[in-house]
Amino acid sequence: MALSPEEVKKIAFLARLSIKEENIEQYSQDLSRVLDLVEQMDAANVDDVEPMAHPQDAMQRLRADAVTEVNQREKLMSNAPLQENGLFLVPKVLD
């Protein structure tokens, strides 16, 4: 299946991923080939097969709803690209 340059742009936007205009065509070709590969799945009859989400078919384990992490705010904030007064700074969201 072919993925058009327009579709690539749309999907890249859904993934919040800028792709340079001059590279869109290459992505479109590469992704079309990936989809061709993936479509080999169509050869399999899977009508009565249960999907397998986890190798051991295990259920998600639950834990007590208690705080286990220690507070290390400053250490975590030290990786922030931009911060002020212990808060993450982002471009203006509301006018």
Partner 1 sequence: MINKSLAELSVGLQTGKFSSVELTQHYLDRIAKYDGEINSFITVTDERALAMAKTADEQIANGSATALTGIPMAHKDIFCTDGVRTSAGSKMLDNFIAPYNATVVEKLNRAGMPMLGKTNMDEFAMGSSNENSYYGPCKNPWDLERVPGGSSGGSAAVVAAKLAPVATGTDTGGSIRQPASLTGITGIKPTYGRVSRYGIIAYASSLDQAGIFASSAADSALLTQAMAGFDPKDSTSVDIPVPDYSATLNDSLAGLKIGLPKEYFEEGLNSEVAKIIEAAIEEYKKLGAEIVEISLPNTHLAIPAYYVIAPAEASSNLSRFDGVRYGYRCEDPVDLTDMYMRSRGEAFGREVKRRIVTGTYALSAGFYDAYYLKAQKIRRLVSEDFQKAFEQVDVIMGPVAPDTAFKLGEKTSDPISMYLGDIYTIALNLAGLPGMSIPAGMANNMPVGLQIIGNMFTESKLLNVAHQYQQATDWHTQMPEKYVAEEK
Q: Least CB distance from residue 67 to partner 1, whole Å?
A: 14
Residue 83's beta-bridge partner residues? 88
Task: List the alpha helices (DSSP H) in 1-95.
Answer: 5-14, 24-38, 73-77
- DSSP SS3 for 90: coil
Q: Least CB distance from residue 25 to partner 1, whole Å?
A: 14
Contact between 85 and partner 1 by CB under 8 A: the answer reads no
Q: Cβ atoms within 10 A of the Cβ of 8, count?
A: 21
Binding site for partner 1 (CB under 8 A): 3, 7-8, 11-20, 27, 30-31, 33-35, 37-41, 43-44, 46, 49-56, 58, 60-61, 63, 72, 75-76, 78-82, 88, 90-93
